[in-house]
Amino acid sequence: MTQSNPSGFNRRDFLRAGSLGTLGMLLGSMDSVAEIRAPAVSNKDDEDPGEPVPCAVIGAGPWGREILDTLARLPGAPVAAVCETYEPFRRRASGLAGDAEAVEDYRAILDDPEVKAVIVATPSHLHREIAVEALEAGKHVYCEAPLASTIDDARAIARAAREVKDKQIFQAGQQFRAEPQHHHVRNFLQAGALGQPLFVRSHWNKKESWRRAAPTSEREAEINWRLKTDSSAGLIGEQGIHSLDIASWFLNARPKAVAGRGGILYWNDGRGIPDTVHALFEYPGGINYTFEATLANSYQGIGDLICGSDSAVMIQENRAWMFREADAPLLGWEVYARQEQFFEKTGISLVADATQLIQEGLDPATDAPEPEPSIYYSLKDFFACIRENRTPHADFNVGFEAVVTAVTAHEAVLNQSTTTFKDEWFDV
């Protein structure tokens, strides 16, 4: 668990002093890998968040149902209605949302003055009409990522959001933007823990067809929108968008160019969308970002790696580890580490915000509050923004820029080409 501390520093004293500003103070050998844990997130405010904001969920497929489950646990966000055009999904959803009314036409929700906020979780290519009309109807809108499967549609949504930004909240579904773990990792990076940033790498690997079944051929055609080029932004747009967005956020930059490659290597079942893709993004300063995804092998699953001259940071789901070079300056918090083995590297798991835990008489190595799923934090932030009238982390700009990045990359994959981004493409 905790390492011995040959410098003689008292753990507690060190933590009090501990910050990235105290680099190099500690003597003695350190292992080279550290887990970075999210700051202690208090759930104390959860039970009394303030004025309830009645909301509605539009689109109740598997993800819409996850959202309903999350809202059921989130105080102050009563679900007044749920909308779904497909009857079996609608029936299922109504069981998840308490007394919520289940409707077939989303306009019934937009006409309902009781509903203050809507969460749009329909297929991506159907977001535009719903999100724009909801904003025009005066609702606060949480629109799942990607905002849309085309740049035009995403721009229309972002413009509608900009139009009402002083009185209504618009949040894009890039849920990691509201997650404490990712904020915490970003703070480390911003403080220079990487040394010279070198490159970023993300992978999204699964073994599944991405196809879905339905009792009728009409429904099957409808539900398999992700496999068709005219309705889908592909693996990069539908899944990669989260990683792409994190890369731009962490690097604090927009990509300059993207080269795409990919094809249908395994699921040759009449689909138009590649099942295996690679995209190489060029960022300012010579930093490259590689995104790769496949539906034919699940090795390593989903994860991101950010590499610098002093350390590499690996993110998997809601956990992160830092792998330090032997010659990197000490950051100070390694002493609180829990060790884990990654092939030939010894990992040290770290607890962020340990000072607060120690003040509460807890041991940072074992007592750190564990996180909720990222969608929980994202929805929680949305409702907090509504109550406090503040701009969400993932506002319309963030949502739109991610679509520009992802859709351009998806098209580069389809065309096996390289595209140079123009600054004005990112203008809403």
Partner 1 sequence: MEPASPQLLYRETPGDDPGAVTVARNAMATRFEILLYGEDPVRLRAAGEEALAEIERVEARLSFYRPDSEISRINRDASRGPVRVSARVFHLLLRAAELSRASDGAFDITVAPLLRTWGFTARQGKVPCAADLEQALGRVGTRHLKFDETKRTVAFDRSGVEIELGAIGKGHALDQAVEILREGGISSALLHGGTSAVYALGAPPGEEAWKIAIPAPSSAAATPENTGDPGRPRFLAVIPLRDAALSVSAGWGKWFEIEGTAYTHILDPRTGSPVSERRLTAVAGPGCTDGDALSTGLLAGGLSLFDRIAGHASCRRALFMGWPPGAPKPTIRSHRIEMESHAE
Interface positions with partner 1 (CB under 8 A): 43, 47, 62, 66, 68-70, 72-75, 88, 92, 95-98, 208-209, 211-216, 220, 269, 318, 369-373
User: Residue 24 or 95: which CB sits closer to partner 1?
Assistant: 95
User: Residue 21 or 215: which CB sits closer to partner 1?
Assistant: 215
User: Residue 38 or 147: which CB sits closer to partner 1?
Assistant: 38
The CA distance from 393 to 237, in Å, is 20
List the beta strands (DSSP E) in 177-238: 197-205
Tokens of 21: 């500003």
User: Residue 220 or 325: which CB sits closer to partner 1?
Assistant: 220
DSSP symbol at 146: S
Distance in Å, CB of 43 to partner 1, minimum: 7
Helix axes 87-94 and 62-73, enclosed angle (nearest 10)? 10
Q: Which of 402, 417, 395, 342 lies closest to 168 in space, CA to CA?
A: 395
User: Residue 129 or 367: which CB sits closer to partner 1?
Assistant: 367
Distance in Å, CB of 11 to partner 1, minimum: 24
Coil, helix or strand for 61? coil
Distance in Å, CB of 222 to partner 1, minimum: 13
Distance in Å, CB of 62 to partner 1, minimum: 7
CB contact at 8 A, 306 and 189 = yes
Distance in Å, CB of 110 to partner 1, minimum: 25
Other CB atoms within a 10 A radius of the CB of residue 269 amount to 10
Rounded (5°) CA angle 81-85-87:
95
Distance in Å, CB of 371 to partner 1, minimum: 5
Distance in Å, CB of 293 to partner 1, minimum: 17
DSSP assignment string, 19-73? SGGGTT---S---SEEEE-------GGGG--SS---EEEE--SHHHHHHHHHHHH
User: Residue 141 or 273: which CB sits closer to partner 1?
Assistant: 273
User: Residue 69 or 133: which CB sits closer to partner 1?
Assistant: 69
Decide: residue 78, CB within 10 A, 0-12 exposed, 13-18 middle, 19+ buried: middle
